[in-house]
Amino acid sequence: MTDITDHELVARVKSGDKGAFDVLVRKYQGKVSGLVARYVYDRTEVEDVVQEVFLKAYRAIDRFREESAFYTWLYRIAVNTAKNHLVATGRRPPSHDVEVTDAINTDAGVRLHESATPERSIMTREIAEMLDATLRALPDDLREAIVLREIEGMTYEEIADVMSCPIGTVRSRIFRAREAIDKQLKPMLE
């Protein structure tokens, strides 16, 4: 089942093939976990929410009309489930700090790591913490747009589809999010 498209897997699930859904879970579990972790900061809770996302997706697969990509549909379920979890738990703060990992997989990232001094390590961690706090403080629509663009790597068209809004609105939200991030990080970087 490695070369089968999402469309074919969804068709198999709709016809009763539970194994096809397992393939979709394995394919998207990492992405969904990363996405949920942008909203829910406790690792144990993230696992619970991710499990709930896939359970909801499985139960609703017959209603998936395939007007968009499977991941776009799953993304909507994940965001809504994460937000509902936060509301249900009274938006309580996480029990521990978010671990920020370096997503750069380039030679420059390796060179930076090799030349890291304690001061640079502290500054990098402080910048990552400030960035994470800034993202958390953004209004939901701005945070969602910037995360979709910069972390998920979606196009403006895909984001407009996911957020059910015009592309111009997506561009505006991303611009405003970047402005807020720049405003917060500029003093640290000077």
Same domain membership, residue 89 and residue 10:
yes
If one counts every other C-beta atom within 10 angstroms of the C-beta of residue 103, the result is 9
Confidence band of 52 (pLDDT split at 50, 70, 90): very high
Same domain membership, residue 1 and residue 88:
yes
Instruction: Please indicate, yes or no, if residue 100 is contained in any of the structural domains.
Output: no
Q: DSSP secondary structure string, 72-119?
A: HHHHHHHHHHHHHHHHHTTTPPPSSPPPP-----SHHHHHHHHT--HH
Whole-angstrom Cα distance, residue 90 to residue 59? Answer: 26
Query: Angle between the 156-163 and 70-88 helix axes, to the nearest 10 degrees?
Result: 50
Quote the mean pLDDT of the chain: 80
Place of tokens 């896939």: 54
pLDDT of 8 higher than 70: yes
If one counts every other C-beta atom within 10 angstroms of the C-beta of residue 14, the result is 14
Q: What is the mean pLDDT of residues 40-61?
A: 91
Whole-angstrom Cα distance, residue 46 to residue 32? Answer: 10
Same domain membership, residue 22 and residue 60:
yes
Instruction: Please indicate, yes or no, if residue 54 is contained in any of the structural domains.
Output: yes
Same domain membership, residue 117 and residue 166:
yes
Q: What is the pLDDT of residue 61?
A: 94
Instruction: Please indicate, yes or no, if residue 150 is contained in any of the structural domains.
Output: yes
| 1-15, 21-35, 111-125, range with the lowest pLDDT | 111-125
* Dihedral-angle region of residue 148 (phi above 0 means left; psi in -120 to 50 means alpha; beta otherwise): alpha
CATH number for the domain that contains residue 171: 1.10.10.10
Instruction: Please indicate, yes or no, if residue 15 is contained in any of the structural domains.
Output: yes
Positive/negative CA dihedral, 143, 26, 64, 156: positive
Tell me how long the chain is: 190
The larger pLDDT score, comparing residue 60 to residue 185, is at 60
pTM of the predicted protein model: 0.58
Same domain membership, residue 68 and residue 111:
no
CATH number for the domain that contains residue 12: 1.10.1740.10
Same domain membership, residue 71 and residue 116:
no
What string of H, E and C letters represents the secondary structure of 26-82? HHHHHHHHHHHHCCCCCHHHHHHHHHHHHHHHHHHHHHCCCCCCHHHHHHHHHHHHH
Same domain membership, residue 73 and residue 7:
yes
Domain region containing 188: 106-190
Q: From 93, 123, 152, give the residue that closes a domain.
A: 93
* Distances in whole angstroms, Cα of residue 67 to Cα of each of 63, 162, 190: 11, 11, 47
Q: What is the pLDDT of residue 2?
A: 54
pLDDT in tens, 85-134: 888 877 543 333 333 333 323 333 443 444 456 777 777 778 788 888 88
Whole-angstrom Cα distance, residue 110 to residue 154? Answer: 26
Q: What is the mean pLDDT of residues 148-157?
A: 85
Same domain membership, residue 166 and residue 86:
no
Instruction: Please indicate, yes or no, if residue 147 is contained in any of the structural domains.
Output: yes
pLDDT in tens, 167-176: 999 999 999 9
Instruction: Please indicate, yes or no, if residue 101 is contained in any of the structural domains.
Output: no
Same domain membership, residue 39 and residue 84:
yes
Same domain membership, residue 157 and residue 126:
yes
